[in-house]
Amino acid sequence: MPGTFTHEFATELYNGTVTVNTGLFVNGQFVDSVDRESIDVINPLDGSVITKVSIGNAKDIDIAVKAARAAFKSSWGLKVPGSERGKLLYKLAELLEKNADAVAAIEALDTGKLFTLARNPDVQGAINDLRYYAGWADKNHGQTIETTEAKFAYTRHEPIGVVGAIVPWNFPLTLTIWKVAPALATGNTVVLKPSEMTPLSALKLAELVKEAGFPDGVLNVVTGYGATAGQAITEHPLVGKVSFTGSIIVGRKVLETSSKTNLKRVTLELGGKSAVLIFDDADFEQTVKWVCSTVFYHSGQVCAAGTRIFVQEGIYERFLQAFADATAALKLGDNFETATQQGPIVSQTQLDRVLGYIESGKQEGARIVTGGSRAEGSGYFVRPTIFADVKPDMKIVREEIFGPVGVVARFKTEEEALEAANDTQYGLSSYVFTTNVSRAIRVSNALEAGSCFINQTVIPSSQVPFGGYKQSGHGRELGEYALEAFTQVKAVHVNLSLKL
């Protein structure tokens, strides 16, 4: 039965055996799902089955939410001082650091990500984020407010209660910690639903949460499908907040469900189609390297990937050739081999989706500069692809592909570049390459996106907020700003005179 066994596996880059419990983690215990259903977890490298994990549905979510609510009221929330919550988060960070190679191996095996990247920045970033929010746990204060001599007024930042965290498959551990760390630091309890395709690091994290000594029910992990387990989280009347990362279509459903149920608070990170603006005065060689990383990191399966590339006409042809050469030289292969520069796409479904976009680009008249096909072999590999001669209305220009595909167009003036960059429904990230500091600041201010990276690719920092404009969502993760998403403000008025 799923959940009644553990699956062991080892990789050549990790000395020892990694054990992952395959049950649901509810109220401090690994258990079978109510209906005892399971799903195969597939290795994207070769299509083989890694293991089976339990799959929960609305009944399991109900049990987990009630456990989280009970823990919030009895052994967490306002019952536990922030300093004590911080100590537990520090302990969790220590355990994650102790198990960093094992967790990175799990993440790489599950997602197809390069092991080196799973180790750093992913696992190392999660450790840093946990420590950052551990430090905030006893520092998220309210204010005292002067009104009149007869009144004393102050505010309290209080936890919301049960938080539902719904995480996609591309950065399972990273995005889990982005949600769980500030939620727990501020006194909330959590029901986490990882993607059914990449659940293993969340299950390993649950083991570490147990080992760290968190009270039972503070973190619960229910693997399940979005249409069942995810929907149940958004519908549940005891869930006070949902933090969702995923597609625009599903994000709209989360908002709609919240409006029809208990008006739970919602933060959304819904992907992007980020613009890269490259000016004539950019450091040419470094820009080629940065843009290659921006487009093809994790096989392009990055919400903030800069896949709409606008190049000033003075260096357009030179850049296109250099970019194509660098792209064609990327080594595809085993994501556990240190020489590999790009691993597989996460699943057959995503592979088909990416190849469908490539075919669309061909049919609409875009020119393939390099790539444009599936790579040979049994895994889910797509050759890194560059399209040129693209037009603004092409599907590959308008829609998020979520694969190793970039589109390149030229521009003349700064105004023209900004108009093209902002011509999108998305607004998650943006990139500017120039050695002119005044232009860099001016252009970054004019870009309609939640983040702008100047002369670099997307490199998140624990201290700096991340989130989108437009249909890339609302709310912020990371930094002090994230605390606002997991707290509610209470105003207290004290009549000092006692008189009416």
Which residue numbers are catalytic?
269
Q: Name the CA dihedral angle for 222, 224, 227, 232, rounded to a multiple of 10 degrees.
A: -20
d(CA 116, CA 339) in angstroms, rounded, equals 10
| Side-chain half-sphere CA neighbours of 401 within 13 A | 35
For residue 193, what are its two tokens?
A: 């639903």
- Cβ atoms within 10 A of the Cβ of 78, count? 11
Shortest CA distance to 270 belongs to which of 396, 140, 399? Answer: 399
Contact 284, 315 (CB under 8 A): yes
Residue linked to tokens 């003075």 = 314
Smallest Cα–Cα separation from 139: which of 478, 465, 480, 463? 480
The torsion angles phi and psi of 44, rounded to 5 degrees, stand at -65, -20
Phi first, then psi: give them for residue 217, nearest 5 degrees: 90, -10
CA distances from 9 to 28, 49, 87, 97, 466 (A): 24, 12, 32, 20, 35
In 3-state terms, what secondary structure has residue 388?
strand
Coil, helix or strand for 370?
strand
Question: Which residues does 500 contact at the CB level (< 8 Å), separation at least 6?
Answer: none
Coil, helix or strand for 408? Answer: strand
The number of residues making up the chain comes to 500
Residue with tokens 């895994």: 379
Q: How many CA atoms lie within 13 A of 99 on its CB side?
A: 23
| CB neighbourhood size of 21 (10 A) | 22
CA dihedral for 353, 355, 360, 366, sign (positive or negative): positive
Name residue 24's beta-bridge partners.
Answer: 31
How many whole angstroms separate alpha carbon 244 and alpha carbon 164?
Answer: 8
